[in-house]
């Protein structure tokens, strides 16, 4: 669980993590080995050579005549970039307690060569190194000043800069390449999401790596098949609708011309029920897939639906916590809301509708009624076509059982969902969630 929380969720971030992690580990290992084996070794050798020259100058300052000392100092100044002075004093220099590693190396080497008090420090903005050695027998301090370059290993910084620079360059190239590869996958995901919501995606085309192109091509073929099937189904159902309505209308006319006996009235009622059932079935099977999407205010949509019930005896209350602008099929969503509100009014006397947002990602519509509600074990099965909780299918007692099925089909077509739960009004709560 901890690893899942640490690992990034996006594909681009995961690709970069796969590339960066081994690169950083390799560079850390290489830098450590270089530091331990090369940098420390070279620094130690440089400190040893410098300590040897300082020990030689110390020996000459103690045991050789002044004219010889002057000659050696001049030679060291001209050829070794090392200046030396004699300072008269009886106070020995104070050794520094903490030194950088390169000066610590020099102190270790000097400790094994000169057996006298000495101190080491940087001077001139750390561009030079000053070594003070106390010549106790002569009550003098031999001060030696040399360039810091005698102790520093410049290849260390060059090595670090080279590794950092190349790693940064490779990382930039990897980011640009991976962004280009991930972009095609992201566009495919966006196209699939838009198609699922019924939106137009005519500008989408396969691009990217071969595997992504194959997936995009397969998606376009699937999209074409689905659109062709929808078009064929719509045309077929339009023909079925015409073929069925014609004989039903003929039967209605023939029954109207007959004496209005009880049997005739019952047959007319059955014909009306049959006509309504055929109409509802064709509307459910046909769907609203051909309607174009448009940017719509959810508040205006719900208010438009409520306005159709202004003469209804039932009470409808609207509570708008936060409005949302959605891209949807207006008439289809209006029909879905009407189906749900019709059910609420059929079983209750008071309906409450509320609008809100969740995390800025979803628009939430809650429709509550004070009716009898639906048992928890029946809240999923009521979405099945032609299913009714009551056994009667007579139009006077209710619909043919397609209202909730049509509503869910429409909301699912927009990428949303519908759930049923217990209402605070002791009836049924219908919660509609649509992505923004």
Per domain, the residue ranges of the chain are: 2-152, 294-435
DSSP 68-136: HHHHHHHHHHHHS-EEEEEEE-SSPPPPPS---HHHHHHHHHHHTT--S-EEEEEETTTTEEEEEEEEG
Q: What pTM was computed for the model?
A: 0.53
Stretch among 19-28, 188-197, 238-247 having the lowest mean pLDDT: 238-247
Fold of 294-435: Heat Shock Protein 90 (3.30.565)
Of 413, 435, 311, nearest in space to 365 by CA:
435
d(CA 99, CA 121): 8
Task: Please say whether the beta carbons of 314 and 346 come within 8 A.
Answer: no
Q: Which helix (H) or strand (E) holds 315?
A: strand 315-320
Which CATH number is 2-152 given? 3.30.450.300
**More confident site: 16 or 370:** 370
Q: Give residue 420's pLDDT.
A: 93
Q: Are 428 and 371 in contact (CB under 8 A)?
A: yes
**Complete edge-to-edge strand list for the sheet that includes strand 428-435:** 315-320, 350-358, 362-369, 428-435, 417-422
Asked whether the CA dihedral 369, 370, 372, 376 is positive or negative, the reply is: positive
The average confidence (pLDDT) of the chain is 82
Task: Please list the residues that pair with 318 across neighbouring strands.
Answer: 353
Give the torsion sign (CA, 198, 199, 205, 210).
negative
Give residue-wise pLDDT tens across range 88-116.
Answer: 888 888 887 788 877 888 898 998 888 88
């Amino acid at each position: 669980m901890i690893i899942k929380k640490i690992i990034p969720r996006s594909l681009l971030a995961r690709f970069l993590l796969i590339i960066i992690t081994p690169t950083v580990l390799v560079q850390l290992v290489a830098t450590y080995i270089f530091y331990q084996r090369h940098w420390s070794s070279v620094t130690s050798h440089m400190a040893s050579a410098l300590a040897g020259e300082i020990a030689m100058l110390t020996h000459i300052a103690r045991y050789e005549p002044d004219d010889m000392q002057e000659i050696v100092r001049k030679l060291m100044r001209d050829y070794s970039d090392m200046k030396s002075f004699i300072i008269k004093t009886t106070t020995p220099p104070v050794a520094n307690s903490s030194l950088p590693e390169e000066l610590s190396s020099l102190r270790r080497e000097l400790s094994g060569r000169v057996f006298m008090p000495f101190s080491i420090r940087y001077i001139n903005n750390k561009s030079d190194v000053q070594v003070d050695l106390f010549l106790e027998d002569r009550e003098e301090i031999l001060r030696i000043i040399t360039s810091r370059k005698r102790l520093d290993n410049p290849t260390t910084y060059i090595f670090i800069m080279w590794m950092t620079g190349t790693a940064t360059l490779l990382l930039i190239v990897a980011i640009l390449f991976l962004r280009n590869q991930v972009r095609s996958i992201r566009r495919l995901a966006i196209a699939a999401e838009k198609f699922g919501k019924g939106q137009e995606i005519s500008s989408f085309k396969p691009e990217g790596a071969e595997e992504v192109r194959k997936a995009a091509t397969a998606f376009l073929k699937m999209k074409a098949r689905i659109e062709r099937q929808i078009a064929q189904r719509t045309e077929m159902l339009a023909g079925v609708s015409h073929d069925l309505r014609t004989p039903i209308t003929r039967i209605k006319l023939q029954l109207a011309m007959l004496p209005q006996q009880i049997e005739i009235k019952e047959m007319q009622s059955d014909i009306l029920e049959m006509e309504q059932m055929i109409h509802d079935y064709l509307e459910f099977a046909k769907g609203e897939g051909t309607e174009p999407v448009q940017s719509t205010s959810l508040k205006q949509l719900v208010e438009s639906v409520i306005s159709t019930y202004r003469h209804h005896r039932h009470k409808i209350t609207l509570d708008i916590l936060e409005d949302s602008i959605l891209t949807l099929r207006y008439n289809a969503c209006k029909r879905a809301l009407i189906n749900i509100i019709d059910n609420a009014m059929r079983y209750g006397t008071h309906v409450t509708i509320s609008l809100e947002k969740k995390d800025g990602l979803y628009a939430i519509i809650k429709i509550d009624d004070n009716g009898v509600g639906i048992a928890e074990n029946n809240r999923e099965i009521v979405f099945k076509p032609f299913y009714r909780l009551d056994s009667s299918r007579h139009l006077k007692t209710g619909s043919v059982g397609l209202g909730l099925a049509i509503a869910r089909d429409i909301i699912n077509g927009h990428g949303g969902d519908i759930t049923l739960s217990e209402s605070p009004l002791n009836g049924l709560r219908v919660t509609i969630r649509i992505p923004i």
